[in-house]
Amino acid sequence: MKFTDGYWQVLPGVTILRPQAVDDVVTGDESLTVYAATGPLEKRGDTLNRPLITVSFDSPMDDVVGVTIEHFQGGLSRGPEFEIARSVADVKVAGPDLAGEPVATFRSGALTARVQTEGEWGVDFLAGGRTLTTSTPRSIGVITDADGRHFVREQLTLGVGEHVYGLGERFGALVKNGQTVDIWNADGGTASDQAYKNVPFYLTDAGYGVLVDQPERVSFEVGTEVVSRTQFSVEGQSLRYYVIYGPTPKDVLRKLTALTGRPARVPEWSYGLWLSTSFTTDYDEKTVTSFIDGMAERDLPLSVFHFDCFWMRQFHWCDFVWDPATFPDPEAMLARLKAKGLKICVWINPYIAQRSELFAEGRERGYLVKNPDGSVWQWNLWQAGMALVDFTNPEATAWYQSKLRVLLDQGVDAFKTDFGERIPTDVVWHDGSDPQGMHNYYTHLYNKAVFELLEEEKGEGEAVLFARSATVGGQQFPVHWGGDCESTFVSMAESLRGGLSLALSGFGFWSHDIGGFEGTPDAAVFKRWLAFGLLSSHSRLHGSDSYRVPWAFDDEAVDVTRHFTRLKLSLMPYLARTGAQAHEEGVPVMRPMVLEFPDDRSAATVDTQYMLGDSLLVAPVFNAEGDVEVYVPEGTWTHLLTGETVTGPRWVRERHGYDSLPLLVRPGTVLPVGARTDRPDYDYADGVTLRLFELADGHRSVTHVPGPDGAPGATFTVTRDGSRVQVEAAGTSVPWSVQIGTGEPVAAAPSATRVDLDV
């Protein structure tokens, strides 16, 4: 939200109080509190009628400094609050030294906040021997607008050439400089400035990130209110944020997810291809079976079948009852489908239509969100007379979970948790939560309830969602998909930007609707999107009013589906390891170029390609002709599909058929390729081929191939000395082989633990 008219003036009716003179500094063992008056304090009388702004510093963990800016402290803390993990931090606090520099300092690990205690207000955040960012004399503001509303804002400086990323899944430019962003969940598709997944966190390539620890609407002006600063503000009398030191972007994400939660480990079967009924299409068991059998007949590996909304009766969403007209015996149907080796996903949302039998039950038990007068909140948008489950009520959460448990008993394996964004603010919550804060936070409670049920019933590592909405902490409940995109090349690109932005907001797994959701893609869009979708973390064929079975487009679409599905399944030893890294460290599977190449200025703004893990560069093709420009970082990279090499750093123009795209292997890579291409869940070490690409003399690396269901797996140590390459295996007794680039594989002798070969 903007408050000023240019640099010097404020908007009509706006007043801004700023800290000007530090009155007192109070140090604790693990805290620093600064009291600053909003005007000069030259005599005793200056303390009268003079507001104070309190700025305090603390730390939840090393390299993270929490800052709280307060005006009036008498407000009620109604919740909700983000779940922030705290650990013992190495904190050192120092007040002003009367004999030295007039500063107070608060240090957590390698990050220091240095407060100027004389002269103009200022707070520098320092690490690694340099200033990361600064709160200037004009940065903090306690504001009253023309309508009498109160706000608190902060502005942190941006350096020359510094780029800002994150703020959730946003579909515009990956670099947020010059953008104004409101953190407010909305069902706005992928073509606007609204977003389903809003995260009040930004990361910069200057070595730090900032998390605003408030679930209500947070307004960000990234170089727009003041071009040299990132401003963030909230309504009320206080503002809390954390500065997170890296120094690398990966390090920032590791620390962010240590604070807000790491993604759960997803089941291996979830990496395979998902096929949907689509949304408003007509279908019954015969239709579903024809799709599944059609995939098998065309040798198209399929892992998950998804039933979208109309598995339930119209006007009854959600009652979690199969439509008896189309699915008269759901248990038997699901058993037949699961006998084909499939997992089953069904669509749900947290809205209860008035015709649902759950409406009366929820109303009588007090499980639905209420109006201030005690009546049930309802509207007709989406479902007639729909209400909301109140997940702030533990009994309501258990009730909702009990309805889903019936579906799990019938044979369902996963849930598509749709919606969760359209949450009103003129309501009363069971636990008294602030409706403004609950608007964004509702999705967290919703997805958490469903995910925890799946973990309880299926076990850790077997729970997976297909979720649309999220906020801070939502990454703990994977997977998330990009929402309602159009079936065009332009929308394909905006979907990618959304996923990359979400990755830089702490989310490890992401997917999208292959071919687009709205409308029917032409064959060219569908085939190009297939390559992108099957080189994403998770892959789903889904549409709105038209089917997404490949043969509905043309025969080549079938071939392209087969080609890229089998390619992805062969890469499962690599993808499973990358997914484990997302779970263990918080580093995403799909990575913007800046995450892997933070020191390459040419990579900073690239948002038409990405790294799949640390070693594979993927550049989707966004046109029918097959023309693509790809930025190749330094070194000699190898086209995985052709074996051709290309040397960077430079931009390269290429043309690709529908069965190809730039898929480049990073120099120095040991890429484990699996022996199976028919399913995603298999023993990855059994028959694995280690493909070696451009190993430099003196190279040494350790490659881990995960075992089934998160078991330890096998480890391969690869070294190069001159022209000699040595590979040593540990933790495996199954066959494996080594391949240098596109050469012939060299198989290890039975039970061998070492292979030597010449480059």
d(CA 610, CA 502): 13
- Considering all CA atoms of the chain, what is the largest pairwise distance in Å, rounded to the nearest integer? 89
The yes-or-no answer on residue 225 being catalytic is no
Residue 418 known to be catalytic:
yes
Give the position of tokens 């009924």: 277
Q: Which of 152, 110, 158, 153 has its CA nearest to residue 132? A: 158
- Complete DSSP assignment for 551-584: GGT-HHHHHHHHHHHHHHHHTHHHHHHHHHHHHH
Closest to 275 in 3D by CA, of 289, 286, 264: 289
CA–CA dist 399, 393 (Å, integer):
10
Q: Would residue 484 show up in a list of annotated catalytic residues for this protein? A: yes
Q: Which of 154, 484, 681, 683 is catalytic?
A: 484
Closest CA to 177 of 212, 208, 202: 202
Tokens of 592: 């913007």
Q: Strands 15-17, 32-37: parallel, antiparallel or unpaired by DSSP?
A: unpaired
- Residue 13 CA to residue 682 CA, distance in Å, equals 66
Lookup: tokens for 388? 């909301």
Residue type, 164: V
* CB environment 18-47: b (16+ within 10 A), e (fewer): bbbbbeebebeeebbbbbbbbeeeeeeeee
d(CA 39, CA 50) in angstroms, rounded, equals: 7
Residue 210 and residue 202 in contact, taking contact as beta carbons nearer than 8 Å: yes
DSSP string, 94-163: E---TTS-SEEEEEETTEEEEEE-SSS--EEEEETTEEEEEE-TTT-EEEE-TTS-EEEEEEEE--TT--
Torsion angle in degrees (nearest 10) through CA of 580, 583, 585, 591: 80
Rounded CA separation 436/217 (Å): 7
CA–CA dist 414, 359 (Å, integer):
24
Pairing of strands 21-27, 238-245: unpaired
Q: Which two tokens stand for residue 754?
A: 């070492």
Question: Which of 58, 70, 421, 683 is labelled catalytic?
Answer: 421
Burial class (CB in 10 A: 0-12, 13-18, 19+), 10: middle
Q: Got the DSSP string for 425-456?
A: SSSB-TT---HHHHHHHHHHHHHHHHHHHHHH
The rounded distance, in Å, linking the Cα atoms of 161 and 164 is 10
Amino acid at residue number 89: A
Decide if 401 contacts 373 (C-beta within 8 A). Answer: no
Query: What amino acid is encoded at 212 in this protein?
Result: V
C-alpha triplet 110, 53, 118: angle, nearest 5°? 65
Which residue among 62, 418, 518, 683 is the active-site one? 418
User: What tokens appear for 395 in the block?
Assistant: 């009994």
Helix (H) or strand (E) holding 165: strand 164-166
The SS3 of residue 91 is strand
| Active centre residues (catalytic) | 418, 421, 484
